[in-house]
Copies of this chain bind each other. A is one copy, B any other.
Amino acid sequence: MVKRTARAVSRYHHGDLKSAALSAAEKILERDGLQAVTLRAVARAVGVSHTAPKNHFGDLMGLLSEIAAVGYLRFAAALAEAVNPTSGHARDRLRAMGSAYVTFARAHPNLFLLMFHSERLDMKRPSLLAAIDESRQSLRTAVISSADARPMNPVEVAARATASWSLVHGLAMLLLDGRLKNTMASLPGVDVETFLETVLDVARVGD
């Protein structure tokens, strides 16, 4: 059995506890849900005393915030990726980002739910704020580039951006919370991804 990554032999001083704990926590989150993400469970998974994580995350909220921060960085990358190849019209880029938004939520449901669960997050934590801001940048570029030629006042611009965001976010949340099961059941032969794309097509926000 090979030694971990760094020189870790003595067992005291894990050597890479922070990142090890983060990935262990993320695994627990996706596998067993948020309620299973526990300081003690993470510590057990990494093979360390149950108070060791405190040095790196402070408390449970700190740990969850760091997990969410990692999620936001991946989220931002996924959104940016979705826009890049689409060299078509601005509206197509917005549409592609909406699709990527929902796809990410489906691919990492528990992580996504945590990311929008402020009650469990420390919204003053710098790393989390920075990661959120990165996602916001990704979103903004697509929304801005889809602005019409005709002049709009700032409120209308913000309202359209918020409407677009609300649509994709609400769709993701309803889906993850199982609220679309009835709808899907009433449409035999229609698979989920097809239906989600139809929703995004039908709802061309603003005009």
- Could you list which residues of chain A lie within 8 angstroms of chain B, going by C-beta atoms? 33-35, 113, 116-119, 123, 136, 154-156, 158-163, 165-174, 177-180, 182-183, 186-187, 190, 195, 198-199, 201-203, 205-206
Tell me if A's interface is mostly helix, strand, loop or mixed: helix
**Chain B contacts of A34 at CB under 8 A?**
119
Chain B min CB distance to A98 (Å): 11
Q: Are A170 and B178 within 8 A (Cβ)?
A: no
Query: Which of B116, B155, B174, B186 is in CB contact (< 8 Å) with A187?
Result: B155
Q: Are A199 and B162 within 8 A (Cβ)?
A: yes
Q: Are A177 and B33 within 8 A (Cβ)?
A: no
Q: Are B169 and A174 within 8 A (Cβ)?
A: yes
Known contacts A169-B170, A170-B172; 7 additional CB pairs below 8 A are A35-B119, A156-B198, A156-B202, A159-B195, A166-B169, A170-B171, A205-B205
Q: Sort A-B residue pairs by CB-CB distance and give the 10 closest, nearest first.
A: A170-B170, A166-B170, A163-B203, A169-B170, A166-B171, A159-B198, A159-B202, A159-B199, A118-B177, A167-B167
